[in-house]
Protein backbone atom coordinates (compact mmCIF):
# COMPACT_ATOMS: atom_id res chain seq x y z
CA UNK A 1 0.00 0.00 0.00
CA UNK A 2 2.91 2.33 0.68
CA UNK A 3 3.96 2.20 -2.95
CA UNK A 4 0.47 3.14 -4.08
CA UNK A 5 0.51 6.26 -1.92
CA UNK A 6 3.71 7.62 -3.48
CA UNK A 7 3.76 10.28 -6.21
CA UNK A 8 2.68 8.91 -9.60
CA UNK A 9 5.17 9.17 -12.46
CA UNK A 10 4.09 11.91 -14.90
CA UNK A 11 6.73 11.32 -17.58
CA UNK A 12 9.21 8.72 -18.75
CA UNK A 13 12.76 9.24 -19.97
CA UNK A 14 14.10 7.18 -22.89
CA UNK A 15 17.71 6.04 -22.94
CA UNK A 16 17.40 5.87 -26.73
CA UNK A 17 19.50 3.83 -29.10
CA UNK A 18 22.84 5.17 -27.86
CA UNK A 19 24.31 7.80 -25.55
CA UNK A 20 26.89 8.85 -28.18
CA UNK A 21 25.68 12.10 -29.79
CA UNK A 22 27.84 11.53 -32.89
CA UNK A 23 26.15 8.18 -33.51
CA UNK A 24 22.76 9.78 -32.90
CA UNK A 25 23.39 12.31 -35.68
CA UNK A 26 24.63 9.52 -37.94
CA UNK A 27 21.52 7.44 -37.17
CA UNK A 28 19.18 10.38 -37.75
CA UNK A 29 19.93 10.72 -41.47
CA UNK A 30 19.36 7.10 -42.63
CA UNK A 31 16.35 6.63 -40.33
CA UNK A 32 14.76 9.82 -41.67
CA UNK A 33 15.33 8.68 -45.25
CA UNK A 34 13.95 5.22 -44.39
CA UNK A 35 10.82 6.70 -42.84
CA UNK A 36 10.16 9.02 -45.79
CA UNK A 37 10.65 6.14 -48.24
CA UNK A 38 8.34 3.97 -46.12
CA UNK A 39 5.58 6.58 -46.35
CA UNK A 40 6.11 7.15 -50.08
CA UNK A 41 6.40 3.45 -50.95
CA UNK A 42 3.29 2.40 -49.10
CA UNK A 43 1.24 5.38 -50.28
CA UNK A 44 2.22 4.57 -53.88
CA UNK A 45 1.06 0.96 -53.42
CA UNK A 46 -2.30 2.09 -52.00
CA UNK A 47 -2.79 4.62 -54.83
CA UNK A 48 -1.77 2.07 -57.46
CA UNK A 49 -4.28 -0.49 -56.20
CA UNK A 50 -7.10 2.05 -55.79
CA UNK A 51 -6.68 3.52 -59.31
CA UNK A 52 -6.00 0.22 -61.14
CA UNK A 53 -9.23 -1.73 -61.81
CA UNK A 54 -7.26 -4.86 -62.73
CA UNK A 55 -5.88 -4.93 -59.18
CA UNK A 56 -9.33 -4.86 -57.57
CA UNK A 57 -9.01 -8.43 -56.32
CA UNK A 58 -8.96 -9.85 -52.78
CA UNK A 59 -5.17 -10.29 -52.78
CA UNK A 60 -4.50 -6.64 -53.66
CA UNK A 61 -7.30 -5.43 -51.39
CA UNK A 62 -5.44 -7.07 -48.51
CA UNK A 63 -2.12 -5.74 -49.80
CA UNK A 64 -3.44 -2.16 -49.77
CA UNK A 65 -4.57 -2.68 -46.18
CA UNK A 66 -1.10 -4.01 -45.32
CA UNK A 67 0.48 -0.85 -46.73
CA UNK A 68 -1.93 1.31 -44.72
CA UNK A 69 -1.07 -0.58 -41.53
CA UNK A 70 2.67 -0.24 -42.25
CA UNK A 71 2.26 3.54 -42.57
CA UNK A 72 0.47 3.68 -39.22
CA UNK A 73 2.79 1.19 -37.52
CA UNK A 74 5.98 3.04 -38.39
CA UNK A 75 4.41 6.43 -37.60
CA UNK A 76 3.70 5.36 -34.02
CA UNK A 77 7.38 5.04 -33.09
CA UNK A 78 9.68 6.52 -35.74
CA UNK A 79 8.82 10.27 -35.42
CA UNK A 80 9.39 10.13 -31.65
CA UNK A 81 12.63 8.23 -32.19
CA UNK A 82 13.87 10.85 -34.69
CA UNK A 83 12.98 13.62 -32.23
CA UNK A 84 14.93 11.79 -29.53
CA UNK A 85 18.02 11.50 -31.73
CA UNK A 86 18.18 15.30 -31.82
CA UNK A 87 17.30 15.86 -28.16
CA UNK A 88 19.64 15.76 -25.21
CA UNK A 89 16.85 14.64 -22.88
CA UNK A 90 14.37 12.21 -24.42
CA UNK A 91 11.08 12.38 -22.55
CA UNK A 92 7.47 11.39 -23.08
CA UNK A 93 4.47 12.10 -20.86
CA UNK A 94 2.77 9.21 -19.09
CA UNK A 95 -0.43 9.60 -21.14
CA UNK A 96 1.50 9.85 -24.43
CA UNK A 97 3.47 6.75 -23.48
CA UNK A 98 0.30 4.76 -22.86
CA UNK A 99 -1.18 6.04 -26.14
CA UNK A 100 1.96 5.01 -28.03
CA UNK A 101 1.86 1.60 -26.40
CA UNK A 102 -1.82 1.15 -27.31
CA UNK A 103 -1.44 2.07 -30.99
CA UNK A 104 1.79 0.10 -31.33
CA UNK A 105 0.00 -3.09 -30.31
CA UNK A 106 -3.13 -2.22 -32.27
CA UNK A 107 -1.28 -1.93 -35.58
CA UNK A 108 1.17 -4.76 -34.87
CA UNK A 109 -1.62 -7.18 -33.98
CA UNK A 110 -3.73 -6.03 -36.93
CA UNK A 111 -0.75 -6.77 -39.21
CA UNK A 112 -0.30 -10.23 -37.69
CA UNK A 113 -3.95 -11.05 -38.31
CA UNK A 114 -3.83 -9.54 -41.82
CA UNK A 115 -0.81 -11.63 -42.82
CA UNK A 116 -2.69 -14.70 -41.60
CA UNK A 117 -5.75 -13.71 -43.65
CA UNK A 118 -3.53 -13.18 -46.70
CA UNK A 119 -2.16 -16.70 -46.28
CA UNK A 120 -5.72 -18.04 -46.16
CA UNK A 121 -6.53 -16.07 -49.31
CA UNK A 122 -3.61 -17.71 -51.14
CA UNK A 123 -4.64 -21.13 -49.84
CA UNK A 124 -8.15 -20.74 -51.26
CA UNK A 125 -6.87 -19.30 -54.57
CA UNK A 126 -4.36 -22.12 -55.14
CA UNK A 127 -5.93 -25.16 -53.49
CA UNK A 128 -9.65 -24.64 -54.25
CA UNK A 129 -9.64 -22.14 -57.16
CA UNK A 130 -13.16 -23.03 -58.37
CA UNK A 131 -14.64 -21.87 -55.08
CA UNK A 132 -12.44 -18.79 -54.81
CA UNK A 133 -14.96 -16.19 -56.12
CA UNK A 134 -17.62 -17.29 -53.63
CA UNK A 135 -15.32 -17.96 -50.65
CA UNK A 136 -13.39 -14.68 -51.01
CA UNK A 137 -16.17 -12.36 -52.13
CA UNK A 138 -15.92 -8.62 -51.51
CA UNK A 139 -18.30 -8.93 -48.56
CA UNK A 140 -16.18 -11.64 -46.97
CA UNK A 141 -12.98 -9.65 -47.52
CA UNK A 142 -14.46 -6.56 -45.85
CA UNK A 143 -15.71 -8.67 -42.95
CA UNK A 144 -12.27 -10.22 -42.50
CA UNK A 145 -10.61 -6.80 -42.44
CA UNK A 146 -13.15 -5.50 -39.92
CA UNK A 147 -12.61 -8.62 -37.80
CA UNK A 148 -8.82 -8.20 -37.76
CA UNK A 149 -9.18 -4.57 -36.62
CA UNK A 150 -11.56 -5.62 -33.85
CA UNK A 151 -9.17 -8.39 -32.83
CA UNK A 152 -6.25 -5.96 -32.82
CA UNK A 153 -8.22 -3.48 -30.71
CA UNK A 154 -9.19 -6.14 -28.15
CA UNK A 155 -5.58 -7.33 -27.89
CA UNK A 156 -4.30 -3.79 -27.52
CA UNK A 157 -6.89 -2.92 -24.87
CA UNK A 158 -5.88 -5.98 -22.85
CA UNK A 159 -2.20 -5.06 -23.06
CA UNK A 160 -2.91 -1.44 -22.15
CA UNK A 161 -5.16 -2.36 -19.22
CA UNK A 162 -2.57 -4.76 -17.78
CA UNK A 163 0.00 -1.95 -18.02
CA UNK A 164 -1.91 1.03 -16.60
CA UNK A 165 -3.38 -0.90 -13.67
CA UNK A 166 0.11 -1.07 -12.16
CA UNK A 167 1.41 1.71 -9.86
CA UNK A 168 4.30 3.80 -11.21
CA UNK A 169 6.11 5.86 -8.57
CA UNK A 170 9.68 5.74 -9.89
CA UNK A 171 12.15 5.11 -11.44
CA UNK A 172 10.98 6.46 -14.80
CA UNK A 173 13.84 5.58 -17.18
CA UNK A 174 12.93 3.30 -20.12
CA UNK A 175 15.83 1.46 -21.74
CA UNK A 176 14.40 1.85 -25.23
CA UNK A 177 13.40 4.53 -27.74
CA UNK A 178 9.64 3.94 -27.53
CA UNK A 179 7.02 2.78 -25.05
CA UNK A 180 6.25 -0.92 -25.12
CA UNK A 181 4.76 -3.18 -22.49
CA UNK A 182 7.86 -5.16 -21.39
CA UNK A 183 10.14 -2.16 -20.61
CA UNK A 184 7.31 -0.09 -19.10
CA UNK A 185 6.01 -2.67 -16.60
CA UNK A 186 9.57 -3.14 -15.31
CA UNK A 187 9.24 0.37 -13.84
CA UNK A 188 6.14 -0.47 -11.79
CA UNK A 189 6.70 -0.25 -8.03
CA UNK A 190 5.10 -3.63 -7.37
CA UNK A 191 5.66 -7.27 -8.26
CA UNK A 192 4.95 -7.69 -12.00
CA UNK A 193 5.73 -11.38 -12.40
CA UNK A 194 2.10 -12.44 -12.87
CA UNK A 195 1.36 -9.44 -15.10
CA UNK A 196 4.39 -10.29 -17.22
CA UNK A 197 3.18 -13.86 -17.65
CA UNK A 198 -0.31 -12.65 -18.67
CA UNK A 199 1.16 -10.19 -21.16
CA UNK A 200 3.50 -12.75 -22.70
CA UNK A 201 0.68 -15.28 -22.83
CA UNK A 202 -1.46 -12.79 -24.74
CA UNK A 203 1.14 -11.50 -27.21
CA UNK A 204 3.13 -14.72 -27.47
CA UNK A 205 0.09 -16.89 -28.04
CA UNK A 206 -1.23 -14.66 -30.83
CA UNK A 207 2.18 -14.50 -32.56
CA UNK A 208 2.93 -18.22 -32.30
CA UNK A 209 -0.60 -19.36 -33.19
CA UNK A 210 -0.80 -17.17 -36.28
CA UNK A 211 2.74 -18.12 -37.30
CA UNK A 212 1.93 -21.85 -37.03
CA UNK A 213 -1.27 -21.27 -39.03
CA UNK A 214 0.80 -19.54 -41.70
CA UNK A 215 3.34 -22.36 -41.82
CA UNK A 216 0.52 -24.88 -42.13
CA UNK A 217 -1.11 -22.91 -44.96
CA UNK A 218 2.11 -22.66 -46.94
CA UNK A 219 2.90 -26.32 -46.40
CA UNK A 220 -0.48 -27.30 -47.82
CA UNK A 221 0.02 -24.86 -50.71
CA UNK A 222 3.45 -26.27 -51.55
CA UNK A 223 2.08 -29.81 -51.53
CA UNK A 224 -0.82 -28.85 -53.78
CA UNK A 225 1.51 -27.18 -56.31
CA UNK A 226 2.66 -30.61 -57.44
CA UNK A 227 -0.64 -30.92 -59.29
CA UNK A 228 -0.31 -27.50 -60.95
CA UNK A 229 1.12 -26.75 -64.39
CA UNK A 230 4.64 -25.33 -64.67
CA UNK A 231 3.29 -21.81 -65.28
CA UNK A 232 0.83 -22.15 -62.41
CA UNK A 233 3.60 -23.27 -60.07
CA UNK A 234 5.79 -20.35 -61.12
CA UNK A 235 3.11 -17.72 -60.47
CA UNK A 236 2.03 -19.30 -57.20
CA UNK A 237 5.59 -19.62 -55.92
CA UNK A 238 6.36 -16.01 -56.88
CA UNK A 239 3.37 -14.68 -54.95
CA UNK A 240 3.78 -16.97 -51.96
CA UNK A 241 7.53 -16.40 -51.67
CA UNK A 242 6.96 -12.63 -51.49
CA UNK A 243 4.32 -13.10 -48.82
CA UNK A 244 6.45 -15.53 -46.84
CA UNK A 245 9.41 -13.13 -46.87
CA UNK A 246 7.18 -10.44 -45.32
CA UNK A 247 5.89 -12.95 -42.76
CA UNK A 248 9.40 -14.00 -41.74
CA UNK A 249 10.60 -10.38 -41.46
CA UNK A 250 7.67 -9.40 -39.24
CA UNK A 251 6.99 -12.50 -37.16
CA UNK A 252 10.63 -13.24 -36.37
CA UNK A 253 11.21 -10.05 -34.31
CA UNK A 254 7.73 -10.22 -32.73
CA UNK A 255 8.23 -13.77 -31.49
CA UNK A 256 11.75 -12.94 -30.27
CA UNK A 257 10.57 -9.94 -28.23
CA UNK A 258 7.15 -11.02 -26.94
CA UNK A 259 7.71 -14.64 -25.93
CA UNK A 260 10.38 -14.02 -23.27
CA UNK A 261 8.93 -13.06 -19.88
CA UNK A 262 11.09 -10.89 -17.58
CA UNK A 263 14.18 -11.10 -19.79
CA UNK A 264 16.07 -8.48 -21.75
CA UNK A 265 18.93 -8.81 -24.21
CA UNK A 266 21.21 -6.10 -25.57
CA UNK A 267 20.09 -7.08 -29.06
CA UNK A 268 16.46 -6.19 -28.28
CA UNK A 269 16.92 -2.61 -29.53
CA UNK A 270 18.35 -3.82 -32.83
CA UNK A 271 15.44 -6.24 -33.27
CA UNK A 272 12.95 -3.48 -32.38
CA UNK A 273 14.49 -1.10 -34.93
CA UNK A 274 14.22 -3.81 -37.54
CA UNK A 275 10.51 -4.45 -37.14
CA UNK A 276 9.43 -0.85 -36.43
CA UNK A 277 11.66 0.96 -38.96
CA UNK A 278 13.03 -1.44 -41.56
CA UNK A 279 10.23 -3.96 -42.14
CA UNK A 280 7.56 -1.36 -43.11
CA UNK A 281 9.95 -0.21 -45.85
CA UNK A 282 10.82 -3.70 -47.05
CA UNK A 283 7.18 -4.69 -47.52
CA UNK A 284 6.48 -2.34 -50.48
CA UNK A 285 9.87 -3.16 -51.99
CA UNK A 286 9.21 -6.89 -51.81
CA UNK A 287 5.72 -6.65 -53.26
CA UNK A 288 6.67 -4.26 -56.09
CA UNK A 289 10.04 -5.66 -57.14
CA UNK A 290 8.72 -9.24 -57.24
CA UNK A 291 5.24 -8.56 -58.61
CA UNK A 292 4.85 -7.92 -62.33
CA UNK A 293 1.17 -6.96 -62.07
CA UNK A 294 1.92 -4.16 -59.61
CA UNK A 295 4.87 -2.90 -61.65
CA UNK A 296 2.80 -2.88 -64.85
CA UNK A 297 -0.03 -1.06 -63.07
CA UNK A 298 2.44 1.56 -61.85
CA UNK A 299 3.74 2.06 -65.38
CA UNK A 300 0.21 2.60 -66.67
CA UNK A 301 -0.52 5.09 -63.90
CA UNK A 302 2.65 7.00 -64.72
CA UNK A 303 1.51 7.19 -68.31
CA UNK A 304 -1.84 8.53 -67.08
CA UNK A 305 0.18 10.93 -64.87
CA UNK A 306 -1.50 9.79 -61.65
CA UNK A 307 1.85 10.10 -59.86
CA UNK A 308 2.89 13.39 -61.48
Is 54 part of a structural domain of the chain? yes
Is 233 part of a structural domain of the chain? yes
Mean per-residue pLDDT of the chain: 85
In sequence order, what are the residues at sequence separation of 6 or more whose Cβ sits closer than 8 angstroms to the Cβ of residue 101? 159, 160, 163, 179, 180, 181, 184
Answer whether 86's CB lies under 8 Å from 28's CB. Answer: yes
Is 6 part of a structural domain of the chain? no
Give the integer Cα–Cα distance in Å for 71 and 281: 9
Domain count, the chain: 1
Is 108 part of a structural domain of the chain? yes
Determine the structural domain holding residue 59 and report its residue range. 11-303
- pLDDT band of 103, cuts 50, 70, 90: very high
Buried b (16+ CB within 10 A) or exposed e, 13-45: ebebbeeeeeebeebbeebeebbeebbebbebb
Is 5 part of a structural domain of the chain? no
Exposure of 231 by Cβ count < 10 A (0-12 exposed, 13-18 middle, 19+ buried)? exposed
Is 91 part of a structural domain of the chain? yes
Residue that wins the pLDDT comparison between 187 and 226: 187
Residue that wins the pLDDT comparison between 284 and 72: 72
pTM check: above 0.85: yes
Q: Is the pLDDT of residue 151 over 50?
A: yes
What residues are paired with 91 via a beta bridge? Answer: 13
Is 3 part of a structural domain of the chain? no
- Domain CATH for 224: 1.20.1070.10
pLDDT computed for residue 240 by the predictor: 73
Q: Is the pLDDT of residue 4 over 70?
A: no
Closest by Cα among 38, 32, 44, 46 to 71: 38
Is 308 part of a structural domain of the chain? no
Amino acid sequence: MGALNQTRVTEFVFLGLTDNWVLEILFFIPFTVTYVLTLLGNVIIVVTIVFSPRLHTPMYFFLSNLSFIDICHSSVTVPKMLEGLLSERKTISFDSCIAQLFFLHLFACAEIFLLTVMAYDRYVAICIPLHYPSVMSLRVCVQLVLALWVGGAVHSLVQTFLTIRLPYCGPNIIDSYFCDVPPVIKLACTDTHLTGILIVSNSGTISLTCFLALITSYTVILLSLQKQSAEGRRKALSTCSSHFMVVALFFGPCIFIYTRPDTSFSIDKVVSVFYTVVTPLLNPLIYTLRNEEVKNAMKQLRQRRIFS
